[in-house]
Structures are given as structure tokens and as C-alpha cells.
Amino acid sequence: MKNTISINPANGETIGTYPRITVTEAKETLVKVKKAFDSWKKTSFEERATLMKNLADILDADNEKLAQLATAEMGKTIGQARKEIEKCALVTRYYADHADSLLKDETVKTEASKSYVTFQPMGTVLAVMPWNFPFYQVIRFAAPALMAGNVGVLKHASNVQGCAFAIEEAFIKAGFPKGIFTNFNINAENVKDIIEDQTIVAVTLTGSEPAGRSVAAIAGQNLKKTVLELGGSDAYIILDDADLEAATDLATFGRLQNNGQTCIAAKRFVVLESIYDAFLALYTTKMKAAKMGEPTDETTYYGPLARVNLRDDLHKQVEKSISQGARLVLGGTIPEGKGAYYPATILAEVTPGMEAFDNELFGPVASVIKAKDENHAIALANNSVFGLGSGVITSNTERGEKIALQLEAGNSFVNKLVVSDPRMPFGGIKNSGFGRELSGYGIREFVNIKTIWIE
């Protein structure tokens, strides 16, 4: 059991050390957490909503402090970090306002004198979370789960424990009783022991495919409900009638936002042959112009990757893709100096079977793919083990909608980058996971959907 160390990926400096807890300590806490649940489940939506709104106010009031922490721990630009905290407050308020109606009893007409469906809390839910949106991913799980009357235990990524403890502190400051939301700074290997604990009723994991497979296998073995939000290799089809200025703006931000480390980032650009060269030329100009730099500098477009080892792994994927025949158009070299920086990179003529086509590239590397026609573009977009987000760029929205309906993904957007919105469900198919977060679908993942029948 080692302490976790937070390292600023912009300069390699140590910025925090956080004590790990042992499995024994975690299990002792789980007993107390279960007791907290026994009281929490009896609270009204109104009582829960009051605390949730307090939390939203705290997130707003502490926006700058929390944003600076996220930027320091994982390198996102300060402007995007502020927006992340704003979005946390939005989701928190959304569930404070709507949990009651989303979980309202549903009367069903049957032969019974009275029959209805009711939604009851399940208990302690374990959330295993990634570093890329260190606040938002956690709130996206916690706001609905807690409003439904559950309690949450967080195993956050090891490199963002400062954010993890800041979230726990915000819950306490908002007035949530102890045990309703608890951060466990444990090793990934110990997640198994936590899932096996009899107080844990369900697990949600947002992270990579390997982590998802491992956690889902353990949860399955223990018959515990699971939601998985995993990686993606989102394809955006650029049709021949697309406005190239708008398409390349979207492709630039889509690939570089959050320093290229977003599950729903635009990763593969499937471009129709007739506009391929024009798209590539304009896209290269814009990607080249995007400023890489210190993430606290307000003029920076994208900062470093979250860790040096992640940057080095990404570079290996780029080199592999080139050795498989992809054409390097921009970037592709590790810059000298401190930090986990990697430049905006474009790989062109990417085809199925190449690393950049088949796997997720979690950084500022765009794969540009040539399609003979519309049907070929749809087939290429769907030729993926992943199915998280996808998009179509066109000046004909009817044509775009028809294609969106054929894309194998949990989210398909026309003329807009996929974003999560509390009013709409969010999640993936295929190796991008299963289950949904947000909206009424998300809050019903961790409830007992219970039938009541009065003869």
C-alpha cells in the first residue's frame, strides 16, 4: 500500500500526496456507510434536493479553486476546467429538480384493485472513475444515485486524488450526512475486495475497456448490477455537401478538447472522396494553428496529456499506425522539455486494420479516412468494436438524420459534436459499455424497479 502522488503533467512537479487506505479500513467504513444508507433511504426527495442544491451552490462558489485543481492534476486547460465545474452544478441541480418526477410511481392498469411500479433505492453503489473529467464523471454518477436514495463510494483514478477528496469535502460542506458519499483511496487491485463486500449492491465504471472487462467480470461473479461507460473511437462522417469551414472547426475542437482525452472526442473523420483533399488541407492548417501550451495560460488551446506514460503509449500507437501505412501529415514527434506534451497530429489514409482505425487513440491525434461514397462512409464508421458517439456533417439535415439512424453508437449527432446533456441518456453499445447515465434512464439504473400488486 503506497500513497498516491499527484504530479502536474505540465511540468512534472509533485503537487500532492494522498494516503491509501487498506482493504480492512475500507471494509470497516463500508459498515458505517450501510448504516448511513439505512437512514438516507428514508429521507424525502425534498430533503435530498435541498442538500443537492447546496452542493450546486458550493460547486459554483468554489468553481475557480476546483478548476485550478483539475488543471494542476490532469492538465486540462483552465477554461475547460471551469466549464466542467459549471456542468457539475447543472447536473446536480437537474437531479435536485427532477428526481422526484423521474422516479414517480407508475400506475399500470391490470385486473388488480391496485397495481403500480415503484422505484426504490438499492444501497451502496461503488463508482470506479477516470481522471479525464475528474469532477464531472463523479457528479454524473453521484447526483442521480444519491437523489434516488442510494449512497456512493468512490474509487477515483490514482492521479486525481486531490479532486476526489475535494468532491467528498464538497458533499460534507453541503450538509450531506457522513457516509452518503465517501472517497476510498484504494489500489485498483483492491476493487475486487470492495465489490465482493456484501454491502455493495452495484458497480459503475467509467474508464478503459480492460478495466471495464475486469470489473464487470468480478461484478458478474458476484451477481451485482453493473453500468459501464468505456472508451470509444467516434467516427464523424463529412459529407460532400458539408461546409468545410464549419466541418474543420468542429474537427479541430472535437479532436483537441480536453487535450484529446475525451471518451466522446471525434477520433475518426470519414470524409467523402470528392472533398477529401480540400478537407485535409484546411484541417491541417487549423490543427497546426491550435496553440499547445501551459494549461493555466488562458490563450492555450490544448495542454499536456495527463501522464507521461499515457503520452508515450499514444506515441507508440502513432508509430505503429505509420508502420502499417498511415500517412503522417502533421505532428507525430514528442517535444523536448518537461511535461507530458504531445502535438496535434494528423494521420491520413487510415484504413481498417491499422491501430489508428481499430483502437482508441486517447490524445490529440486525428485519423482521416477516405470513403468512396455515403454507404462506404457508413460502413467504415460502423467498422469498429466501439459504439459510443458518432456524427454526420452535412448541409442537408434530412440526409444527416437518415445516416445518424444507421450509425452503431449510443449517441449520433448531426452538425454538432456529441455532448452529454442531463436531459438526454448517455452511454454506449458494443465495447463502449452498457447501461445509461443521465436523464430518467440514468437515475433508473440503480433502483429496484418494483411491482406492487393489490388483489
Least distance (Å) between residue 295 CB and ligand NAP:
18
Among 360, 374, 408, 445, binds ligand NAP (CB under 6 A): 360
Which of 212/332 has CB closer to ligand NAP? Answer: 212
Sign of CA dihedral 188, 194, 196, 202: negative
- Applying CB under 6 A, does 214 fall inside the site for ligand NAP? yes
Cα 413 from Cα 219, distance rounded (Å): 32
Q: Using alpha carbons only, what angle is made at residue 188 by residues 185 and 193, rounded to the nearest 5 degrees?
A: 90
Cα 204 from Cα 26, distance rounded (Å): 18
Which of 206/284 has CB closer to ligand NAP? Answer: 206
Q: How many other C-beta atoms can be found within 10 angstroms of the C-beta atom of residue 89?
A: 21
Least distance (Å) between residue 408 CB and ligand NAP:
15
What's the gap between Cα 264 and its chain centre? Answer: 8
Number of residues counted as binding ligand NAP (CB under 6 A): 28
What cell was used for 301?
Answer: 488551446
Q: How many other C-beta atoms can be found within 10 angstroms of the C-beta atom of residue 88?
A: 27
Write out the binding residues for ligand NAP, residues 412-441 only, by CB under 6 A: 428, 433
Write out the binding residues for ligand NAP, residues 368-397 only, by CB under 6 A: 388
Cα 242 from Cα 414, distance rounded (Å): 11
- Applying CB under 6 A, does 7 fall inside the site for ligand NAP? no
What cell was used for 450?
Answer: 418494483
- Applying CB under 6 A, does 184 fall inside the site for ligand NAP? no
Which positions are catalytic?
Answer: 229, 263
- Applying CB under 6 A, does 128 fall inside the site for ligand NAP? yes
Least distance (Å) between residue 128 CB and ligand NAP:
5
Among 16, 75, 121, 130, binds ligand NAP (CB under 6 A): 130
- Applying CB under 6 A, does 362 fall inside the site for ligand NAP? yes
Closest CA to 298 of 71, 59, 15: 71
Among 145, 157, 340, 371, binds ligand NAP (CB under 6 A): 157
Cα 273 from Cα 278, distance rounded (Å): 10
3-state secondary structure 19-41: CCCCHHHHHHHHHHHHHHHHHHC
Number of helices and strands (H, E) in the chain? Answer: 15, 20
- Applying CB under 6 A, does 215 fall inside the site for ligand NAP? yes
Write out the binding residues for ligand NAP, residues 259-318 only, by CB under 6 A: 263
Give me the sheet containing 447-454, strands edge to edge: 106-107, 114-121, 447-454
Among 231, 339, 363, 435, binds ligand NAP (CB under 6 A): 231
Least distance (Å) between residue 370 CB and ligand NAP:
25
Which of 94/131 has CB closer to ligand NAP? Answer: 131
Least distance (Å) between residue 240 CB and ligand NAP:
30
Binding stretches for ligand NAP (CB under 6 A): 128-132, 137, 155-158, 188, 191, 206-208, 211, 214-215, 229-232, 263, 360, 362, 388, 428, 433
